[in-house]
Chain A
Amino acid sequence: MTDFLNDWGLILVTFVPLLGGLVMMAVPKDSEDTHKAIALVASGVSLVLTVLLMIDFDYDQAGTLQFVVDKEWIPLINSGFILGLDGISLPLLALTVLVVPLVVVYSWNHIPEPGNAKAFLALILLLETGMVGSFVAQDLILFFVFFEVVLLPMFFMIGVWGGPDRKYASIKFFLYTLFGSALMIVSFLALYFLSAEQTFDMRVLSELGGLDIARTSQILIFGGMFMGFGIKVPMFPFHTWLPDAHTQAPTQGSVILAAVLLKLGTYGFVRIALPFLPEGAQWWAPIIAVLAVIGIIYGALGCLAQTDMKRLIAFSSVAHMGFVMLGIATLTDFGINAAIFGMVAHGLITGMLFFLAGSVKERYHTLEIKRLGGLLVQAPRMGWIMGLCAMASLGLPGLAGFWGEFPAILAAYQPAEMLNETLFRVLMVIAALGTVLAAGYLLWLYQRTAMGTPTEEFAADPEITDVKFTEWVSWTPLLILIVVLGFLPSLIFDVTNPAATTVALAATGG
């Protein structure tokens, strides 16, 4: 078993969804149930294999890559087909392969207009391959390929199955991201040609740690990566695609976008930008930290101004990703651990909130906050679930959200020694204020939508029912994890810590 996992585990986890998508191509469009079954099986196989990998994973060696696959791919440019799993990748991989089957289950009776389950589910599977591949790729070019594979399916998902403004939102999403990745690939190439050893192997590049690359070059190359990853995160001021994309995307698209896609950006910072270009990272860290904190405050203020529930959740993503970026910008092991936890927590909580928004929309046919109200009366279970998620999102201790935000703020108190302590402490205070704002907008949202009595127009609407079976199936795992990780954060911190320490050491030139 171990041998099999070592040789094939990661390859299968990555490509089984794609294979499922290909099989679906051969099945006629009308047999929707077959398509749903294939999608569930394909993403389920990925999940099971990941669980097996997690069982087999050597947690004492979480800082080193395991299950490494190293095959020749494009020898001309020294680029290999290299996959591997370590403490940073593992939680994100687990998050991805968990969310996708849940989304498929949710799709069972929620295929958005204009239908066509075949294309919709095939795109989700293609997305999964791209996302999983990005998290396990250990070669820059391979990473880039997977990173880009994600673009088109998401574009079509928003554009075909999205809301009224879907065309605008989808193209905006695409152009922003593509612009970032074009600069990113130039940076990768610059890194390749300037580094001491011409290779795209991330293991080697990480060890070299920017050796032989002049400080100015590092700063410039980091700048290119900053554009590529920063747009994806998204960081202020490149965030404007996000509210549009989220609001217009179908529920499933929003969930995947929030739960996984945004993490590709932050993961890129942790995995690639920081360890490969330490001096660049040190120069950029204060800028990133300032932008992150602006994002926290701006996102929170944006939330307070929203009248649409989904748009509000989207803006809250900007704020939450700000905490993640603040953690990364401290360049300490503490901050990076917090950032990875924050990624997972945000994925679970915001993913869950978007599921809820989708179900509310399905029942009320609107997400306008002032028309909603009294969810606790009409659909009490759903109301309570929403309450739990709102509490988790605002960072209530005992739930997962807390461990993403609190340590990030704490880490800013003591950033890496070459960074300006005063600046980071000021940022820490502002970020802490951001959590107060977060409590404000989330509780206000909850108050307006869940409490009170139902508005007249919906008071006697028979369509408004409580949580349905498929919703239970797709939501329960997320809810359990939100609570469990809230009580036992060490489940993740123990895995990430060795790898995060390595990254922090590399980034601070230690």
Chain B
Amino acid sequence: MLSTLLQVDALPFDKPGLDYYALLPELILVGTVVVLALFDAVKLERARPAMPAIAGLGLLASLIPLATMAADGEVWSMLGGAYVVDSLALVLKGLFIVSAYVVVLLSTNYMAEGDYWESEYYTLLVCSVLGMTVMASSRDLIGIFVALELLSIPAYMLAAWRKGDERSNEAGMKYYLMGVFASAILLYGLSLAYGLGGSTLLSEVGRRFAELGTEGVPLVTLALLFVIIGFGFKVSAVPFHQWAPDTYEGAPTPVTAFLAVLSKGAGFVALIMVTYFGFVTRSDVIEPAFFVLSVSSMTVGNLIALRQTNLIRMLAYSGIAQAGFMLAPFAVAGADPTASIQATVTYLVIYAAMNLGAFAVVIAITRRTRSAEIEDLGGLFSYMPGLAVAMTLFLASLIGIPPLGGWFAKFGVFAVLVDADTGIGWATAIFMAVNTAVAAYYYLKVARAMWFDDLPAGADTSPVRTPATLTFAVGVTVVATLVFGVLPQVLSNLTDFSSLAQGG
């Protein structure tokens, strides 16, 4: 082992070859961050109204090179395979950037109307998205860790953005402490992986793990478990989920949407990278671990969600349960890695559409109700029918009812589990089927309040104008949710990673 390290040291220094075309999306995001920071510094308060527009345009601009690269269909590999832009990376980057754009839409009026620092908000937001796009391309332990910190640290601050509010401070603090704690564990796991694998390249680590055979089981297990635990915090999987509900409730709602969709998505991307590009060779170790993580997440998340009376807390727990569904393909990672990746990524994309949509509606509704308590939603259908119908669509999609996107997401996961034909696969599938029915109860509780219940006493039902940005966000997410459900081929073409080379 030591000799390998020495060998690495002995290598001559090579100037890293960078392909600037492949890095263009990241470069544009960096540029956006710089412009946002400078604009704020020069114009001071007068910069505020322009900030969301600049952030939004920067995000949209970075989609252009993504599209052209997708059209080229090539694979760009840099830094000796540590940074790869392939179809998987492109889809994930697209997902992050589009979702971030929706979050900007959600934030525009929310931030402008509340007493918030606006300029810094957008700067940090784009910074965090930059970390996510880097994550999507990293195939290297150090790259993944750097990306994780880059995306997490701005998010810690964003969670505490409502400065005068104790709950928001609590949210930020909890998220920060838990996040740092998880990072430490993760780092320990990564160092063990490096020690055993002799390289920071995932493919190399995976190859060495496979060679270790049975003798290395205890150490390999320890390394993998630590890594999984570290990312488990990020994706709020049970039993590492405790921070999520408090943070979600305390943070400003657009930030909650950001954490629930993008930050969680980034955690999953990291898990995908380490699992399928590295550790998949030791499926004997990771499959049981992910089975426990997945099943406990969906079950515990659902059971606690049943008792929630606050819509945002309910969405937080439902997000934990959904994370369990997304983790399910990992429990059969060894059987058909490409199909498993595809199932999880498809789920991520659809989850982003429907969950962002749900948060968009929550933001629009709370402009009127001033509360996210489910009982305060009573009679919503009578005075805000459009939003009530949109929310119902998102809830139905989260349950998994065709022809809304959610069904195809669940279907893909079921397909992978059943196809694997292993004990773990079948068990997970059955758990998931039962949990799907359980989850329906609390999603429908919301629909029930909106449609069946009477207006709460003394409620003010004078019409409130929903800002155009918010309406647009709801519209985009509704269309995406419907299209993914009715024509799933649109999505499954994008997430077809059969050409991908993974596991070394």
Contact = CB atoms under 8 A, between A and B. Distances in A.
Contact of A160 (B401, B436, B452, B496): B452
A148 B434 contact: no
Contacts of A171: 441, 444, 448
Interface string B403-444: 100010001001100110100000001101110110011001
Contacts of B381: 119, 160
A185 B447 CA distance: 24
Interface of A: 29, 72-77, 119, 141, 144-145, 148-149, 151-152, 155-156, 159-160, 166-167, 170-171, 174-175, 178-179, 182-183, 185-186, 189-190, 192-193
Given A160-B452, A166-B452, A182-B433, A189 B440 contact: no
A156 to B, nearest CB: 6
B488 interface: yes
A83 to B, nearest CB: 15
Contacts of A145: 402-403, 407
B4 interface: no
Top 9 A-B residue pairs of the complex, sorted by shortest distance between their CB atoms: A179-B437, A182-B433, A145-B402, A189-B418, A76-B492, A182-B436, A148-B402, A159-B452, A178-B437
Given A155-B444, A160-B452, A179-B437, A193 B418 contact: yes
A245 to B, nearest CB: 14
Nearest to A179: B437
A151 B434 CA distance: 17
Nearest to B485: A145
Contacts of B407: 145, 148
Contacts of A189: 411, 414-415, 418-419
Contacts of A174: 440, 444
A141 B408 CA distance: 10
B352 interface: no
B397 to A, nearest CB: 11
A74 B489 contact: yes
Contacts of B444: 155, 171, 174
A175 B437 contact: yes
B145 interface: no
A148 B407 CA distance: 10
A171 B438 CA distance: 11
Interface string B232-256: 0000000000000000000000000
A97 B460 CA distance: 43
Nearest to B440: A178
B451 interface: yes
A75 B402 contact: no
A408 to B, nearest CB: 32
Contact of A74 (B430, B436, B440, B488): B488
22 contacts: A29-B385, A74-B492, A75-B489, A76-B493, A76-B496, A144-B402, A156-B451, A159-B448, A160-B452, A170-B452, A174-B444, A175-B437, A178-B401, A178-B436, A182-B400, A182-B437, A185-B411, A185-B433, A186-B418, A186-B433, A190-B418, A193-B419
Given A152-B396, A189-B415, 6 more contacts: A76-B489, A149-B401, A167-B452, A179-B434, A186-B429, A190-B418
A77 B436 CA distance: 22
B438 to A, nearest CB: 8
Nearest to B436: A182
Contacts of B432: 182
A175 B441 contact: yes
B399 interface: yes
A153 B365 CA distance: 23
B414 A185 contact: yes
Interface string B271-315: 000000000000000000000000000000000000000000000
Q: Would you call the interface of chain B mostly helix, strand, loop, or mixed?
A: helix
A186 B414 contact: yes
A193 B414 CA distance: 11
Contacts of A73: 487, 489
Q: Which of B447, B492, B496 has the most CB of A within 10 A?
A: B447
Nearest to A162: B452
Nearest to A198: B419
A29 B382 CA distance: 11
A505 B493 CA distance: 40
Interface string B380-399: 01000100000010001001
A149 B381 CA distance: 21
Contacts of A160: 381, 451-452
Given A77-B415, A185-B411, A148 B452 contact: no
Contacts of B451: 156, 159-160
B340 to A, nearest CB: 15
Q: Which of B402, B444, B487 has the most CB of A within 10 A?
A: B402
Contacts of B440: 174-175, 178
Contacts of B385: 29, 119
A300 B434 CA distance: 32
A170 B448 CA distance: 9
Interface in B471-497: 487-489, 492-493, 496
A276 to B, nearest CB: 16
B227 to A, nearest CB: 31
Nearest to A156: B451
Contacts of B418: 186, 189-190, 192-193
B54 to A, nearest CB: 36
Q: Which of A76, A151, A159 has the most CB of B within 10 A?
A: A76
Contacts of A183: 433
Contacts of A178: 399, 401, 436-437, 440
A73 B403 CA distance: 13
A59 to B, nearest CB: 33
A144 B402 CA distance: 8
A179 B435 CA distance: 9
Contacts of B421: 193
Contacts of B433: 179, 182-183, 185-186
A186 B381 CA distance: 34
Contacts of A186: 414, 418, 429-430, 433
A148 B436 contact: no
A159 B448 CA distance: 7
A230 B448 CA distance: 26
Contacts of A152: 392, 396, 401
Contacts of B452: 159-160, 166-167, 170
A119 B400 CA distance: 23
Contacts of B493: 76
A186 B415 CA distance: 8
A167 B436 contact: no
Nearest to B411: A185
A76 B498 CA distance: 11
A63 to B, nearest CB: 30
Nearest to B453: A167
A420 to B, nearest CB: 31
B208 to A, nearest CB: 34
A149 B401 CA distance: 7
